[in-house]
Amino acid sequence: MTSAPEVDVATAEPARAESGEGGLLRHRLAELEAGIDVAGSEIDPALAERARADLRRVEARLAIGVDRTVVALVGGTGSGKSSLFNAISGLGFADVGAIRPTTDRAAACVWGGAADELLDFLAVAEHRRIVRETVLDAERQRALEGLVLLDMPDHDSVAEAHSEQVDRLLPLVDVLVWVVDPQKYADNVLHERYLRALANRQDSMLVLVNQVDTIPSHAVGPVVTGVRSLLAADGLADVDVLATSALTGEGTREVRAALALAVARPSVSARTADAELDAVAARLAPAAGGTTPVAAAEVPDGAADDLARAGGVPTVEASIRTAAARVGGGALAEPQPPAPATVAAVRARWLDAATAGLPSRWRSAVDRALAPSESLAAAVTEAIGAVDLPPVRRTSTTVAHWLGLALALLGLVALAVLAVGAVTASDVPTAALAIGGIAGLLVGGALVVGARAARRTAADRLSTAYRADADARVRDVVRSRLVEPTEAVLARQRRLSESLRGK
């Protein structure tokens, strides 16, 4: 651990009271479980089972709680761990002995309420637990809220069970506080069996040269320097060393400040659980695919247009436009069943576009969900066949056309009679013929032109309406047979991808 800055432990705000780390981790775990469940067989069964087993282990650890910081005082016989335990906690709970090891079982002091499940997990006996929080000095203890301080058995005890307890608990604690005395700080057991083997945890260690009241004050500095040199040789150059005395209280404030900083960090259990969840997500990532596909409705495939074309919709549309523009109408083309090869090609293009970048299991899942080519072709045929062909012969425009031609013809006849009379000097009603002839041509021409324009307008309207109706029905087929089945699968894939991102 790095050197602790000046911290007023008596007035500091609680560093990690109700941090919610456990809640966040439980939420992430639940998301991963949900993602695996939703993905189903699209994850290799062996991979899914391993992931579920890993998640069950994390869940069991989270059930104990990870919003606690476990700090262990570890040291050899006579190092004064228990006295220091009492000095830090301000209680006389731990057993103190000068000649023989008195801590035969780990003791625990808990700040911030009982932590029974955690202490059960750590195998701390019930009679070796105490909650460090009283009405009188609760404010003074707020900075340590969430701390679980363990007084460990002597690591060098002749009692084998003591060292076994130490070995079992060391991997479970957040901060290892090694307590050495000024005379035995070079103990081989401490350095060879423990410190050197734990070099990768030096960011969560603290070494206390305890009982400095037993040596001259001028010797304290050289002893601390000697301890630092030995730690550097063990690969622990970054571990902080403090001089302490449970008797005089020297260094106790600095130790409490260092512990307050440790409480502010995520616990080892939280970091371990988070890392395990990361590992599960990393192993599952290839099963989800490297990219998240777009929604199926946004797949730029043009399947509806292709199927409508294959079903003859454009041909029927053109025949409606042509027939409706004619005076006497005409025969209309009939929609045709789309060619199986064309439908299969449309379906294959859709599948490729919808599953681009996805693993084969997801592609197969989409393939299974889509309507088979035969079913798709039959649905398109039925949809287009259900569109009524409009009547293309309109009596009103037909009558207007022929009436206009008749009037125009009569007008021409009148003008011809007028011309003949003028040449032969015959006695003809000149004015009446002129007016009638011109009126016949104008009115008749207007009727013919108007009828033609009306037919073209009707042809455009009828053909457009047919195409819109047919296209809408084909789109409905595409939506029900391609889009919705695809989206149901891709939604599961996106759910898995989102659960793996987690944080």
Same domain, 180 and 261: yes
pLDDT at 301: 62
Domain holding 450, by residue range, is 292-501
Contacts of 341 (CB under 8 A, 6+ apart): none
**What's the rounded Cα separation, in Å, for the pair 94 and 402?**
119
Question: Does a structural domain hold residue 44?
Answer: no
The tens digit of pLDDT for each residue in 381-393 reads 999 999 999 887 7
Q: Per the structure block, which two tokens stand in for 56? A: 């069950």
| Nearest Cα to Cα of residue 333 among 309, 306, 312, 310 | 312
**What's the rounded Cα separation, in Å, for the pair 95 and 152?**
11
> What values do phi and psi take at 243, rounded to 5?
-90, 130
Same domain, 308 and 209: no
**What's the rounded Cα separation, in Å, for the pair 116 and 108?**
11
Same domain, 161 and 232: yes
Pick 412 or 308 by higher pLDDT: 308
Same domain, 308 and 431: yes
Pick 388 or 188 by higher pLDDT: 388
pLDDT at 2: 47
* Of the residues 231, 266, 301, the one at which a domain ends: 266
Same domain, 298 and 421: yes
Question: Does a structural domain hold residue 463?
Answer: yes
Question: Does a structural domain hold residue 214?
Answer: yes
Question: Does a structural domain hold residue 329?
Answer: yes
Q: Per the structure block, which two tokens stand in for 186? A: 């070079």
Using 50, 70 and 90 to split pLDDT, how confident is the model at 356? Answer: confident
**What's the rounded Cα separation, in Å, for the pair 72 and 332?**
91
CA atoms lying within 13 Å on the CB side of residue 217: 2
Q: Per the structure block, which two tokens stand in for 359? A: 């693993």
Pick 418 or 42 by higher pLDDT: 42
| Nearest Cα to Cα of residue 243 among 207, 278, 285 | 207
Summary mean pLDDT of the chain:
81
Q: How many CB atoms are closer than 10 A to CB 291? A: 10
CATH number at residue 247: 3.40.50.300
| Res 468 pLDDT > 90 | yes
Same domain, 197 and 302: no
Same domain, 323 and 189: no
Mean predicted confidence (pLDDT) in 230-247 = 89
Pick 218 or 394 by higher pLDDT: 218
Same domain, 117 and 74: yes
Question: Does a structural domain hold residue 26?
Answer: no
Same domain, 359 and 457: yes
Question: Does a structural domain hold residue 56?
Answer: no
| Res 27 pLDDT > 80 | yes
Mean predicted confidence (pLDDT) in 441-448 = 78
| Res 103 pLDDT > 60 | no
**What's the rounded Cα separation, in Å, for the pair 392 and 483?**
35
| Res 292 pLDDT > 70 | no
| Res 350 pLDDT > 70 | yes
R_g (Cα) of the chain, nearest Å: 46
- Summary count for the chain: helices (H), strands (E): 17, 7
| Res 496 pLDDT > 70 | yes
| Nearest Cα to Cα of residue 81 among 185, 132, 174, 153 | 153
pLDDT at 5: 40
Pick 161 or 452 by higher pLDDT: 452
Same domain, 226 and 300: no
Question: Does a structural domain hold residue 116?
Answer: yes
Same domain, 296 and 187: no
Same domain, 250 and 379: no
> What values do phi and psi take at 240, rounded to 5?
-80, 145
Query: What is the DSSP code (8-state) at residue 411?
Result: H
| Res 477 pLDDT > 80 | yes
Question: Does a structural domain hold residue 17?
Answer: no
Number of domains in the chain: 2
| Res 285 pLDDT > 50 | yes
| CA dihedral over 372, 373, 377, 383, signed as positive or negative | positive
